[in-house]
Structures are given as structure tokens and as C-alpha cells.
Amino acid sequence: MEYRIEHDSMGEMKVPADRLWAAQTQRSHENFEIGVGIETMPAEIIHAFGYLKKAAAIANHTCKPEKMTDEKLSAITAACDEVLSGKLSGHFPLVVWQTGSGTQSNMNANEVIANRGNEIAGKKLLHPNDDINMSQSSNDTFPTAMHISAVLSLEDKLIPAVDALIETFKRLEAENDDVVKSGRTHLQDATPIKFSQEISGWRSSLERDRELILLAVKPLYELALGGTAVGTGLNTPKGFAETVAKAVADLTGKPFVTAPNKFHALTSKDELVFAHGAVKALAADMMKIANDVRWLASGPRDGLGEITIPENEPGSSIMPGKVNPTQCEAVTMVAVQVMGNDVAVGMAASQGNFELNVFMPVCAYNFLQSVRLLSEAIVSFNKNCAVGIKANREKMHHNLHNSLMLVTALNPYIGYENAAKTAKKAYKENISLKEACVALGFLTEEKFDEVFHPELMV
């Protein structure tokens, strides 16, 4: 491998000649060989750095044009656009397990954008610290990148995935409005319910989760950028914080604003904890929905068998013909991961010491993994399972009329205790509710037929 020599304030470093990073990135790459190639800084964070570095250059050009010249702005903008396109993704090698402020990833962005900008300009025009990091500190850029990436992931990836599944459930509700089935509570038979009503519970849960997520997004619009090292805004020109927030908003199309209190913005991660709580709520509901679907589809002969789901792949290496509810299982595993990540996000957020939180990379890693996994799991579940759900109407009808809890319809006519006696006799003697009720003398056959209509109990 060929190398070139780069230097920083600590001296010279050998850097791979084909990479755009420089000395500080190389030091981190060598000093933190933890999860290399696997647990690297999330792509969403790198993408966010593309936005914020471009916005910072725009703001600096407005606030101190003598330092951020037209030529420099043009080169930085072009390099940042390549970061945003993903063209430079191979030049961001650093792992999550680095300094807790994310300093090395901030410098990674500074070095890559400076070196690529110099290539574009055809000369040594940009310095990583003096130009790309102008009016900034790692302490305000990394939390800014966290908020930008969180908003984009939630609004542009998770919400559309939820919306698509909601639409699927709406269609299934309409298709199954005439299907009455046995309800279940405590995994035991309960009174009847329309299948469409059961599906509406799934849909409504997702709609409420959607509301909670969008509510949680609002505090994430506040950006720490402009606070620099400890929140005082040292080395920023007047108006920089407001100008850079507007630039980020213009570039992303999201209503970002400058955080009113930068001391809070640098040290507290409560907005991310709150937002991840909403993500966890969605995960909990997806766990419930996936479990309902696989219970209802259990069988095909010895389970409930009340619905069928798409058969996507063989389910066993030893049992021929076996097909499993794999999409449901994927969703439930993702839900467990999200719930575990919630602990990590909360613990990381609790580690704000004085003027800075120093658990930011692990907080960002877990937050973004949760949103990414849940988004993709919901899309997969919808495409490969939910859209193909079909009611087994015959099995639902059989189970409904075999349910002892239909006896509840008799309460107004024979009373709770007599109804309980009827159910117990029917179960013990394996006879119908009608046979038990008539045998006990509570109702005549004619009266039983007059009052007993399961389909009207919904």
C-alpha cells in the first residue's frame, strides 16, 4: 500500500495515499481498533455532517465573508454534496467506540471535506480546522448531527413505513367487515368480535404511535450548532447560530432552529431519550401485532388456523412441507433489539458531566439502529406478510360457534350464575351450549334460538 505524510498538532502520520482523510482520522483509526468494519459511525451521522458542514460554510460566508470566501464556499459545497451523495462513504472508517464527544468523527468530516475540496479547487485552499470547522467545535457539531440524522430517519424512513402498513390494515378491515370470529383474552376464548375490529386495533395502535413519534420529533428540530466548546459560542461571529440553523433547514427541508440554550444542547440528550421512547412504543405494538398474526396463522391443522399468510420459504431442514411465520419472527426480534437499545440510549443520556455529554456516539448508534431496523422490518413485514393476510372464514365460523363464551349472550335471560353453570356443563360433557341450557331447564329450545345470535354480539 502506498502512503502519504499528513500532519496535525501532534506531528506527522502516514495515511493511505488513496484516502481523503488525514492525520487525526488516522490516529483514531489506529487507536480504536474496536468493532472495525462492523460498528462504524452510522451512515446517517456522516450524511448529517454533510448537511451541517455545508450549512456552516454558508453561514460563515454570510457572517464573515473575509474568512469564508466565495472560492472556499464553492469548494466546500461541492465536497459536501459528494458526502451527501454517498460518493465519499469509503473515506469515513471510524468506529463508534471512540471519544465520547465524537471529536474524531467531526475531524474525519473536516479532513475529508478539506482534502476533497482542495482536489476540486486544484490547489491547497482549505484547512480542516480553520475552514471546514470554522465557528464550530466537535462539542456542538456532533449533537447537531445527532438531531439532524434523527429527524431525517424518523420523518423520511420510519413514518412512511408505518403509513404503508396502516394503509394495508385499512384495506384488510374493509375486506373483512362481514367476518365475525371468536375474541380472545388471556389466550382464552372470549366474546365475539369482527375480524375487521381486531385489525382496527392494530391500525389504531400504529396511528397512535405515529402521533407520538411526530410529537417527539419537534424538540429534535433544535440544533446545538453555535454553542462551540462549552455552550458560550466562543469563536463564532454574531448571528452565526441563527444563520447556520436556517441554512440546515433550507438544505434539508426540515424546520430546524437554533437551540435557545446551548448549555442544555451540549450536555443533555433528553430529546433523543424521549424520541426513542416513542420508537420503543412502536416496537412494542409491532411485537403485539406480529405475535397476533403468527398465533392466528398457527397450524395449519393443529393451531388456530384462522388466517393464512404468504408462504415465503421452506421452514425446516428436516420437516418437509413446513412453512413458518418468518416475517413475524423478524419483527419480534427487531422489537427486542429496539427495547434493548432503549436502555443504552437512556444510560448514555444520563452521562452528561458538567458542560458535555461524553456518550454521544453510542447514543447515536443505538438510536439510529433502532429506527433503521424498525423501518426496514415494518416494510418487509408489510410487503412479505401483511398484504397477503387472508381470513379462513370457515375456521373462524367453526371456532366462533364452538366457543363457550357465547354463553355471555344468555346473561340477561338466565343470569350470570346460571350462564356459568351452562358453560361448565357444556364443557364437561362436550355438548353444545343449547343442549346444556335446555337440559338444565333454564330456557326452552325455542327461546334459546330466539335470543342466541353470536353474529349480533359484536
Contact status, residue 57 vs residue 72, Cβ threshold 8 Å: yes
Q: How many CB atoms lie within 10 A of CB 439?
A: 13
Contact status, residue 25 vs residue 111, Cβ threshold 8 Å: yes
Contact status, residue 410 vs residue 419, Cβ threshold 8 Å: yes
- Alpha carbons within 13 angstroms on the beta-carbon side of residue 169 total 24
Has 74 been annotated as catalytic? no
Cell numbers that stand for 245 in this block: 440553523
CA distance 189 to 194: 14
CA distance 426 to 259: 67
List 4's β-bridge partners, or say none: 15
Alpha helices in 350-359, H assignment, sequence order: none
53: three-class secondary structure by DSSP: helix
Catalytic residue among 186, 350, 380, 432: 186
CA distance 298 to 292: 10
CA distance 109 to 105: 6
Has 105 been annotated as catalytic? no
Task: Render the burial of 12-33: b for 16+ CB within 10 Å, e for the rest.
Answer: ebebeeebbbbbbbbbbbeebe
The size of the chain, in residues, is 458
Catalytic residue among 7, 85, 204, 316: 316
Listed residue (40, 75, 43) closest to 57, CA to CA = 75
Give one word for 383, left, alpha or beta, with left for phi > 0 and alpha for psi -120 to 50. alpha
Cell numbers that stand for 317 in this block: 431442514
Residue for grid cell 468493532: 35
CA distance 234 to 137: 9
Phi, psi of 73, deg, nearest 5 = -60, -40
Contact status, residue 410 vs residue 443, Cβ threshold 8 Å: yes
Phi, psi of 6, deg, nearest 5 = -120, 160
Catalytic residues: 186, 316
